[in-house]
Amino acid sequence: MLQPFHRITVSGLLRCLPFALLSISAFNGLHAQEGDAAAIVALPDSPEKILKLSDLCFAYRRTDPDSAALFGHTALELAKKLHFQKGEAQACNDLAILRMDRSDYPGADSLLRHALRIRTELNDSAGMAAIHNKLGNILQEQYRLEEALSEDLLALRIYERTGPPAHEASMLNNIAILQFNLRRLTTALETHRRAAEIRERIGDGPGLAASQGNMANVHVQLGDTAAAIALFTRAIAYFREHGLQQELAVQMNNLAGLNLAQGHWDLAAAQYQEALSIRTLLGDNKAIASSMVGLGGTWLRKKMYSDARRMLMAGLALGRRTGARPEQLQALQDIARLHAMENRADSSFAYQERYAALKDSIFNDDLNTRLAEAEARYENEKKEQQLQAQRADLAGKDLAMAELRATDQRRKFWTVTVSGVAALVVVSALLLLQVQRRRSASARDAAIIQEREAGLRGVLQATEDERRRIAGDLHDGIAQQLTGLKFRLESIAAGRPSGTVVDDDPVREALAIADDAASEVRSIAHALMPKALNDVGLAPAIDDMLKRSLAGAGLAHQLDHYGLDQRLPREVETGVYRIAQELAQNTMKHAQAKSVAVQLLKNNGHLVMVYEDDGRGLLDKTGGEGIGLSNIRERAHALRGIFRIEDGAEKGIVATLRIPLPNIA
């Protein structure tokens, strides 16, 4: 499990440097800051006091978040009172960083956008660039990657124009990370190289080593493990030589993940332990949780079950306290595997359900967050428009009062007023007409989509009906005729004189051909519409299909199912069976796998199928799909389901299908 890239934040004042470079000095100076806090609070109200309170907010954010919030809010209120715009923007900036640490992204976004308006009014290019960078951080944390990329590009354009080169390199680093997460791997590697060239040119050793670690992560995804190991080794050597412990722990953790994936478990365990020791001393709880989960997973693969359980449970608890959801997901998945290896099926299923529930919760939270932010942005824009309208109205009233003082201007005033009202009525009517047209267009689009979905379901149903009819015709027609032919040939052979032996016996040859033809017809009929699917249900039918398909290719398989005590609607069983059949065919044709594992379960009103193999993974990293995957997505869409396919944690693929069970048309 690779550690996420080291994303760098750039901003004004002391916050221009990466936090990693400040952590040691900030920690050593904390007690001095505490001694100065009372003196700063006692200062008379002034711009200098506002900036010092903001510095305290930033310094205390890791060790005492509540005190940091108090200093930040005090600075903000004082800046508003003194009309000190620069201080108000700085206080909003520091409070936003505090909200980001607490994963309160909507609150951080609102504060940063207020600070951005102030920086724009002040024409503060450096401050604007730093805020665009932080907005990119927030959007990336919420996996709104395209929006984050737009913010980072705005910051990059400013730094390319104004400098300094170190900030330009930092933004290139962040942009490359977003390109990596968007699976634009070749572009991400080139952007990281641009950042590394700048850092090497300006003598930024820590930045160059960080770029080397980031390029190593890209090489891992491109499958070039030799290049990845070489870059990780260079980065680790630099950070170890210069005593940069936090950065050293990041690279050790990432290299451990690569060694774990390659099966070098002893080496991975040693590297995870070193990273964990460093992070424990630094007190970075999210990072500690990551190393704990990685080490627990390594011990699990070494069958050190007791140590693995202890470490995974500790990592899970710490991940829950710090809100580190990726670490929680990995821990729950490995704990479920641990219980399965110990033949504790009930416990394994319980942790698997918690894993699925957390994954669903992450998806729902992301969706709700986006909706809430859109609503908040709409309300802010609406308030701004209202304020502008009020300002315009006040200006109009002042003008009208001035005009009223002169009698010769009264007629003009009333003419303008009537014209404005008429224009407002016309504009309102046009807006109402536009809204009605949009609603009509939306209704038409919805009807077209429903019609297309119904047509797709009809085509799939007609295809299955035709398969069922052809299978019945083969079974009841040709198969019966071949059976009759076989019996007739057997009676002819039985009626021949005893002792008759012919080397080239045409009767025996015809009997063998009839047997082969009957077997072939039965196989075709079973492939078109498996008898097990109609007779005993989905799970036995998939198990039978895997045996028939994979056994001949020398592949092992395992099928686990939970909660499927009752039969499902026929269209659901047929659709899921066909999707599993298509995935198995894809594994045999392309994956070069040795084994396949399939899980079927009912969870929260959904049917979930998880299909895994240990083959080469997704061959096309650019996102292109063949006919087979397109057919799978069409079937899932017809069932109102969701289908996802991705590379496995170590190798192979993991395909997940979620079908809602109620209200299926």
DSSP string, 89-108: HHHHHHHHHHHHHTT-HHHH
pLDDT band at residue 7 under the 50/70/90 scheme? very low
Q: pLDDT for 16-26, tens place per residue?
A: 333 333 333 33
Tell how many helices (H) and how many strands (E) occur in the chain.
25, 5
pLDDT band at residue 485 under the 50/70/90 scheme? confident
User: How many CB atoms sit inside 10 A of residue 446's CB?
Assistant: 10
pLDDT of residue 42: 83
pLDDT of residue 12: 36
Closest CA to 656 of 598, 615, 603, 605: 598
Closest CA to 570 of 533, 521, 624, 607: 533
Q: pLDDT for 385-424, tens place per residue?
A: 777 777 677 766 667 676 667 766 667 777 788 888 888 8
Residue 309 has pLDDT above 60, yes or no: yes
Percentage of the residues of the chain whose pLDDT score is greater than 90: 43
Q: Do residues 475 and 525 lie in contact, with contact meaning Cβ atoms separated by under 8 Å?
A: yes
Answer with the residue of higher pLDDT: 163 or 460.
163
Q: Do residues 312 and 347 lie in contact, with contact meaning Cβ atoms separated by under 8 Å?
A: no
Q: Do residues 282 and 288 lie in contact, with contact meaning Cβ atoms separated by under 8 Å?
A: no
pLDDT of residue 10: 44
Residue 308 half-sphere exposure toward CB, CA atoms < 13 A: 22
pLDDT band at residue 458 under the 50/70/90 scheme? low
Segment 432-445 mean pLDDT:
81
User: How many CB atoms sit inside 10 A of residue 305's CB?
Assistant: 14
Closest CA to 531 of 591, 598, 471: 471
- CATH number of the 1-142 domain: 1.25.40.10
pLDDT band at residue 512 under the 50/70/90 scheme? confident
Segment 83-101 mean pLDDT:
91
Lowest mean pLDDT among 145-159, 360-374, 579-593: 360-374
Closest CA to 254 of 235, 277, 281: 235
Q: Do residues 572 and 639 lie in contact, with contact meaning Cβ atoms separated by under 8 Å?
A: yes
Closest CA to 61 of 119, 19, 32, 90: 19
Answer with the residue of higher pLDDT: 248 or 42.
248
Token couple for 117: 């308006």
Q: pLDDT for 277-302, tens place per residue?
A: 999 999 889 899 999 999 999 999 99
Token couple for 385: 């428009």
Identical topology for domains 1-142 and 536-660: no
Residue 527 has pLDDT above 80, yes or no: no
Q: Which CATH class is domain 536-660?
A: alpha beta
Q: pLDDT for 563-615, tens place per residue?
A: 888 888 888 989 999 999 999 999 998 888 999 999 999 888 899 999 999 99
pLDDT band at residue 536 under the 50/70/90 scheme? confident
Segment 303-309 mean pLDDT:
92
b/e string for 507-517 if b means 16 or more Cβ within 10 A?
eeebbeebeeb
Residue 311 has pLDDT above 90, yes or no: yes
Fold of domain 143-229: 1.25.40
Residue 464 has pLDDT above 70, yes or no: no
Token couple for 444: 């038409």
Percentage of the residues of the chain whose pLDDT score is greater than 70: 77
Indicate the Cα dihedral angle 330, 334, 335, 338, nearest 10°. 180
Residue 342 has pLDDT above 80, yes or no: yes
Residue 11 has pLDDT above 50, yes or no: no
pLDDT of residue 347: 84
Backbone angle region of 84, left / alpha / beta, with phi > 0 → left and psi within -120 to 50 → alpha: beta
Average pLDDT, the chain: 82
Q: Do residues 459 and 637 lie in contact, with contact meaning Cβ atoms separated by under 8 Å?
A: no
Segment 131-135 mean pLDDT:
93
Question: How far, in whole angstroms, is CA 95 from its chain's centroid?
Answer: 27
Residue 8 half-sphere exposure toward CB, CA atoms < 13 A: 27
CA distance 82 to 91: 13
Closest CA to 114 of 420, 316, 415, 376: 376
Distance spanning both ends of the chain, measured CA to CA: 41
pLDDT of residue 80: 93
Segment 364-388 mean pLDDT:
62
Residue type, 378: Y
Lowest mean pLDDT among 181-190, 373-382, 458-467: 373-382
pLDDT of residue 22: 32
Residue 6 has pLDDT above 60, yes or no: no
The domain segmentation of the chain, as residue ranges, is 1-142, 143-229, 429-492+505-529, 536-660
